[in-house]
């Protein structure tokens, strides 16, 4: 498998906009990004995945995924009090292990489905903490369970992108509504998960899983992907831990497949060199350290045409996600109203 190394000089300095310009990326982030290697793309219909070899950590403690922790009954996720708060949830890790929850993993139950606003790492045996979340089920506000459980799906990249770029609950609901409209989902509670359980979507996902589902096993050195739809960049998901990538890849692939359903036309014109250029752009961007309710350090990353975030623990990049940072394009809904949605980054 041919790879394309990063770290080559960029012709542009892509700086963060605004007065609070952040700082240069810390050395461990620079080292992680420079150590990534983009490989030849794997395509099916409109979707192309570029496998990425990422620098691996040899010093991480035992970390459970969300699914593992809940299955072992070691993690409790619930509403804030009996009444609940739309954009907050509570988490309690009673295990001897760290627990990682990726932003975008869908939590179902309680008074409405949610997804975390940021990646979070819960330390072992910690007190209950409150974390920020987005609602991904606009049409329900009544209790169906006392605790959340993880869905088998994650938020689509464009839902994650809207959450990242706007920090707006209404914008997240609007993006979910667009998927409902595009896939002709007329009933239900406006839940993001409903996008995944229509017969058409199930059949499409099964097809993509058959063609691309064994990528982690067939490429044992890979722990990340760059994603393109119709020849345009969609997102980037990188991990320093192969086990974690392998565990989360099925959820991620399902979310990429749903995006590909909307973009029916397959287009050429994107290469691993151009994907590497996008990743390389982050090297010249800025980073801002943000508070995290859990363990580790949370960094916001902003470059001229890219915006993302990463969760770092003891110098290891647990997960780095990035999205295009272009102006919005407009799409007209079936009602005739014009709404704005993030535009793919054309390389």
**φ, ψ of residue 50 in degrees (nearest 5):** -105, 105
Q: Is residue 334 part of a domain?
A: no
Structural domain boundaries, residue 58: 17-327
Q: Is residue 339 part of a domain?
A: no
Q: Is residue 210 part of a domain?
A: yes
Query: Can you name the residues that pair with 137 across neighbouring β-strands?
Result: 191
Q: Is residue 343 part of a domain?
A: no
> Is pTM beyond 0.85 here?
yes
Chunked in runs of 10, what are the mean pLDDT values of the chain (347 residues)? 45 33 88 96 94 91 96 97 96 97 98 97 95 97 97 97 92 96 91 94 96 96 95 95 97 97 71 90 93 94 92 96 69 40 41
- Helix H, strand E, coil C: the string for 225-259 is EEEEECCEEEEEEECCCHHHHHHHHHHHHHHHHHH
Dihedral angle computed from the Cα positions of residues 182, 188, 189 and 190, in that order, rounded to the nearest 10 degrees: 0
What's the pLDDT at 266? 62
Q: Is residue 137 part of a domain?
A: yes
What's the pLDDT at 98? 98
Q: Is residue 344 part of a domain?
A: no
Q: Is residue 288 part of a domain?
A: yes
Six-digit token pair at 159?
Answer: 């839902």
Q: Is residue 7 part of a domain?
A: no
Number of structural domains (the chain) is: 1
What's the pLDDT at 263? 77
What's the pLDDT at 32? 96
């Amino acid at each position: 498998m041919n790879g394309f190394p990063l770290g080559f000089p960029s012709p542009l300095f892509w700086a963060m906009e605004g007065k609070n310009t952040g700082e240069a990326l810390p050395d461990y982030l620079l080292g992680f990004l420079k150590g990534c290697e983009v490989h030849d793309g794997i395509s099916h219909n409109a979707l192309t995945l570029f496998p990425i070899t990422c620098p691996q950590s040899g010093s991480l403690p035992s970390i459970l995924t969300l699914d593992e922790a809940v299955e072992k009954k070691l993690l409790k996720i619930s509403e804030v009090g009996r009444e609940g708060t739309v954009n907050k949830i509570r988490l309690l890790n009673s295990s001897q292990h760290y627990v990682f929850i990726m932003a975008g993993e869908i939590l179902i139950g309680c008074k409405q489905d949610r997804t975390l606003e940021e990646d979070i790492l819960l330390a072992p045996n910690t007190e209950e903490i409150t974390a920020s979340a987005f609602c991904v089920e606009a049409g329900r506000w009544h209790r169906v369970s006392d605790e959340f459980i993880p869905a088998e799906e994650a938020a689509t990249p464009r839902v994650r992108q809207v959450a990242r770029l706007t920090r707006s609950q209404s914008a997240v609901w609007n993006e979910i509504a667009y998927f409902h409209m595009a896939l002709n989902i007329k009933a239900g509670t406006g839940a993001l998960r409903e996008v995944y359980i229509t017969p058409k979507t199930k059949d499409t996902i099964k097809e993509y899983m058959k063609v691309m589902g064994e990528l982690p096993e067939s490429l044992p050195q890979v722990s990340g992907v760059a994603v393109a739809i119709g020849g345009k960049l969609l997102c980037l998901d990188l991990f320093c831990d192969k086990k974690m990538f392998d565990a989360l890849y099925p959820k991620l692939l399902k979310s990429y497949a749903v995006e590909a359903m909307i973009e029916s036309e397959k287009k050429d014109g994107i290469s691993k060199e151009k994907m590497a250029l996008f990743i390389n752009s982050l090297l010249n961007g800025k980073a801002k350290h943000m508070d995290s309710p859990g363990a580790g350090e949370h960094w916001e990353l902003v470059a001229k045409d890219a915006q993302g975030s990463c969760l770092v623990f003891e110098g290891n990049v647990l997960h780095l996600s990035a999205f295009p940072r272009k102006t919005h394009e407009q799409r007209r809904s079936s009602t005739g109203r014009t709404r704005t949605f993030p535009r793919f980054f054309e390389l």
